[in-house]
Amino acid sequence: MHVIATAGHVDHGKSTLVRLLTGMEPDRWEQERRRGLTIDLGFAWTTLPGGAEVAFVDVPGHERFVPNMLAGVGPVPAVLFVVAADEGWMPQSTEHLEALDALGVRHALLAVTRCDLADPEPARQQALARMATTSVGPVDSVTVSGRTGEGLDRLRAALVRLVGALPPADPDADVRLWVDRSFSIVGAGTVVTGTLTAGTLRGDAELQLASTGAVLRVRGLQTLGRDTPEVRAVARVAVNLRGVEHQAIGRGDALLAPGRWLTTAEVDVALRAADSGEPRELPRELVLHVGSASVAARVRPLGAGSARLRLARPLPLRVGDRALLRDPGRHRIAAGVDVLDVTPPELSRRGAARLRAEELAALTDAPPRAVAEAMVHRRRFATEDELHAMGLPVVGEPVGDGLRVHPGVWRELIGSLRAEIDQWRNDHPLESGMPVEAVRQRLRLPTAGVVERLAGAASLPVVEGRVCSPGSRAVLPEPVEAAVAELTAELRAAPFAAPDAARMAELRLGAKELAAAVRAGRLLKVADGVFLLPDGDGRAAEVLGELPQPFTLSQARQALRTTRRVAVPLLELLDRRGVTERLPDSTRRVRTAPA
């Protein structure tokens, strides 16, 4: 299916053309039909020669109903632009064309109607000249008469050419259905309609309501008045929803693929002039029109071609979305906008706006991958889901926990980590390394897993929750060295008489000092509070090997000339290392010499 909006200021001409093409009445309200004035969106459809189905969204032409017009044009990829031969180009035609230009519409067909009342050629030439300077560029044109039917076959043939030139939609894209109508049907409940521009809707699927985040279940689908289990873009679609009242959903809301979109109330945009010249100086308060939404926006200019918009309510936007800013007080299109960043940084420092404008200028018209790389570089880290939700390709190096990092940032972090570890070793000589959590906070890393990945990239071992210097042995401060030397002399005289807590306190050897001595290879930790010389386990094995096998704990204690406080954990250490073996009767035997 193809969807075409009918625009232009001639309401009765547009509606008449749609009526003649489809056999359907696009004006839904009796007041519209009586006055010949389109007030709200109208819908109709038909099958063109060759079998292509096309749906029309008939939009109002009067200046009082421009917001309704923009709600219909916003999501639609092609336009049938109508001008009356007897009236020619009108001021409202200009605003409609500026809106199409601001939205970046590239596919259009010009229909000059009422050619039975006046020579259509002057109006046609004037309209073609105007349209050629906008995003739609040179367009095909036809002249028709709604009264006599002249030119309708030519119009149908031109519509066939128009829809044949439209690019195919992506059926696998994430659904974002901008709602243009919401109502209730007896026996069915809430129904919303909209133009599906990408993706696929399926019956009984779940959709997320953009305004509240509520997840809703699809009860049924219709397109062109037919029930269907599935609708692929591009299409006009009616969605019957479960679990929500129709008053809770209004025009400008959106139904989204759950968990695939982010909503934002602040965006950075590139500005495009509606008249193809330089962007005008913008008022501080404007209205942003995107899809079927119309939201008040506070404008902060950043540079000549960019601005930050603060929206009155969050919208589901992605990088690359096109929208327009309208000045309702002056009844004019202020500018077209291209969304460049949906999670912009704070601008708190002096000169930040100017620097941000320079960054955005480099992103304007840049390929999506370049925009994604710049985004990840600024954020340092981003998840794949975040990049997808922003409408960007996945870039950067994977660093675990689903995170990606810019290669340049990663190289800088490797150097920073090495410097931090060197500084930590100088400031904390008794500690084996810098705690992982301290590294995470100091380098502003997102997770402990990323710290470990970074340490690996920097060739720094992570031992017992600390990032250590590679292959380094602790250098003991002079007071600690003297105390350890005194302890070493005592243990050489009595190898298994491990000093108790009181003696350690006399030597001023606390937990940090003892741990440093163990890391330096000066002591062997047998258990908490039990320390021997580094070869203490080997000496014990030699002594125990001379005993009759097997032996008891008491025999071992006497042979080692020590206490149970030392003998018990020492034997357990030898058991763990496979030097001794504990038998069922709690005796032991020596199995092998220590490594």
Q: Give the Cα separation of 409 and 573 in Å (integer).
A: 46
Q: Are 489 and 499 in contact (CB under 8 A)?
A: no
Q: Considering only CA atoms, which of 523, 574, 533, 538 is closest in space to residue 553?
A: 574
SS3 485: helix
| Separation in Å, CA 474 to CA 425, 430, 486, 517 | 9, 7, 18, 8
pLDDT at residue 594 in the model: 47
Contact of 26 with 206, CB cutoff 8 Å: no
What φ, ψ does residue 324 adopt, rounded to 5°? -140, 155
Token pair for residue 581? 């073996």
If DSSP codes are grouped into helix, strand and coil, which group holds residue 388? helix
Indicate if the alpha-carbon torsion angle 570, 572, 578, 581 is positive or negative: positive
| Strand-strand pairing, 2-7 and 78-84 | parallel
Contacts of 459 (CB under 8 A, 6+ apart): 470
- CB-CB contact of 221 with 203 (8 Å): yes
d(CA 410, CA 373): 13
Q: Which helix (H) or strand (E) holds 480?
A: helix 478-493
CA distance 579 to 200: 68
- Residue ranges for the chain with pLDDT beneath 70: 9-13, 26-40, 61-66, 274-280, 430, 471-475, 592-595
- Distance (Å) of CA 359 to CA 269, 375, 438, 470, 583: 11, 10, 32, 40, 74
**How far is 125 from 409, CA to CA, in rounded Å?**
56
Measure CA 76 to chain center: 25
Report, in angstroms and rounded to the nearest whole number, the Rg of the chain calculated over CA atoms. Answer: 38
Please give the pLDDT value at position 475. Answer: 64
411: amino acid identity, one letter: R
**Encoded tokens for 227:** 């029930």
Q: Which of 90, 75, 72 is nearest to 18 (CA)?
A: 72
Query: CB burial class (10 A; 0-12, 13-18, 19+) of residue 428?
Result: middle
* Residue with tokens 């397109």, as numbered in its chain: 223
Domains delineated in the chain:
2-164 (3.40.50.300), 176-256 (2.40.30.10), 263-364 (2.40.30.10), 365-472 (no CATH), 478-590 (1.10.10.10)
Amino acid at position 124, single letter = R
pLDDT in tens, 99-114: 888 888 899 999 999 9
Alpha carbon 233 to its chain's center: 23
| Nearest C-alpha neighbor of 429 from the set 508, 507, 509, 520 | 520
pLDDT digits (tens, 9 = 90+) for 312-351: 999 999 999 999 999 988 878 889 999 999 999 998 888 8
Q: Which tokens is 86 given? A: 């007897």
> What local confidence, expressed as pLDDT, does residue 595 receive?
43
Give the pLDDT of residue 71: 79
In this structure, what DSSP letter does residue 63 have?
G
How far is it, in rounded angstroms, from Cα 169 to Cα 199?
A: 8
What was the pLDDT predicted at 555? 93
Global pTM reads: 0.76
Q: Cβ distance 467 to 434 under 8 Å?
A: yes
Contact status, residue 62 vs residue 11, Cβ threshold 8 Å: yes
Amino acid 42: pLDDT? 80
The reported pLDDT for the residue numbered 32 is 47
d(CA 309, CA 165): 34
Task: List the Cα angle 91/94/97 in 5-degree steps.
Answer: 155
Q: Residue 296, SS3?
A: strand
